[in-house]
Amino acid sequence: MHTRPGYWFISSLISWAALGTACDAAIAAKMASAEQEAAAEAHANADVKTEVAVDVKAPEPKGEVSAVVKADVQVELKPESLDLETVVYLVKKGKVKDAASLEKKINNPKEKLNNVDIDGDGKIDKIQIVEVKKEDGTIVFELHAIPSKTKDKDAAIVIAFITFAPDKVTQVLVVKATYAPVFIGYDTIVYDYTTPIVVKNDTIVVTGGVGFYGWLFAVHRPVYYGVVVYEYDPAPVVIIDVHHDGCWPPGHCKHHGHGKHKWKGKGKWH
């Protein structure tokens, strides 16, 4: 059988055309696949960038946390500003009879225990002792620095702690003093000691009932809240908070209710 030359030529063209179409289809498919992969990768990258952007723009904490952080950043004291070691020594050796006498010692310029200036006005700030009693019997003295510029107790900053933790099992009192975070190296400085105690019927008994520990563990003793005195002309101002059954001056509560009182000098209480 003989094939005509024209027929063979046309058949060849058809075959080559079909082959070309198949190649074009394969190339188009690869290009489409590549475009899909690129789109998927771009989408994934977009998700990652979105997540990072959200993390970076996350809002800062609000309320008390922000205020505390801000205060800690603004106030930075050196340990030599408060001689906490000597403060503890006064308690340990019985040089003070109660929290009031300890507070007075700290604020006495002649003792040179306090050189704190939290508001940077060049004047030494008064230190107020605020007692906190816990359910387990632990007693904590918080030392508050009240800025001399404003004399506002609401602006006071806690600068140190003295903790009295009785262990009724071993009959030992653990006394520990630490600086607050406003001090440089506060977490590396601790002044502590232990002293024996006597426990009877779950109550701490101090022989003789006198001295600092006698006052500290006195039954029905009101919680101590410090008296802060800032002097100025023409007369000193005494800021007092009366808590629980406390009364200042003695006998004053017979005529007036409890609360805050100020002494404006010349023997007058308001």
Query: Can you tell me the mean pLDDT for 199-225?
Result: 87
Question: Does residue 9 lie within any of the structural domains?
Answer: no
* pLDDT of 95 above 90: yes
Spatial contact of 91 and 129, defined as CB atoms under 8 Å apart:
no
Question: Does residue 169 lie within any of the structural domains?
Answer: yes
262 in the same domain as 213: no
Question: Does residue 1 lie within any of the structural domains?
Answer: no
219 in the same domain as 92: yes
Query: Can you tell me the mean pLDDT for 128-141?
Result: 95
147 in the same domain as 248: no
Spatial contact of 105 and 139, defined as CB atoms under 8 Å apart:
no
Spatial contact of 121 and 151, defined as CB atoms under 8 Å apart:
no
Domain of 255, in residue numbers: 231-270
Query: Can you tell me the mean pLDDT for 175-204?
Result: 94
Which pLDDT score is estimated for 139? 97
pTM beyond cutoff 0.75: no
91 in the same domain as 151: yes
Per-residue pLDDT band at 24 (split at 50, 70, 90) = low
Which pLDDT score is estimated for 253? 43
* pLDDT of 178 above 90: yes
79 in the same domain as 196: yes
250 in the same domain as 182: no
Question: Does residue 67 lie within any of the structural domains?
Answer: no
180 in the same domain as 157: yes
pLDDT, one tens digit per residue, over 233-250 is 444 555 545 444 444 444
Which pLDDT score is estimated for 13? 43
Query: Can you tell me the mean pLDDT for 25-45?
Result: 54
Per-residue pLDDT band at 74 (split at 50, 70, 90) = low
Query: Can you tell me the mean pLDDT for 185-199?
Result: 94
Please name the residues in contact with 151: beta carbons below 8 A apart, sequence gap of 6 or more: 230, 237, 239
Question: Does residue 4 lie within any of the structural domains?
Answer: no
Question: Does residue 203 lie within any of the structural domains?
Answer: yes
- Give the total number of structural domains in the chain: 3
* pLDDT of 170 above 90: yes
Spatial contact of 237 and 262, defined as CB atoms under 8 Å apart:
yes
221 in the same domain as 178: yes
Query: Can you tell me the mean pLDDT for 57-79?
Result: 48
Q: Specify the length of the chain in residues.
A: 270
Question: Does residue 241 lie within any of the structural domains?
Answer: yes
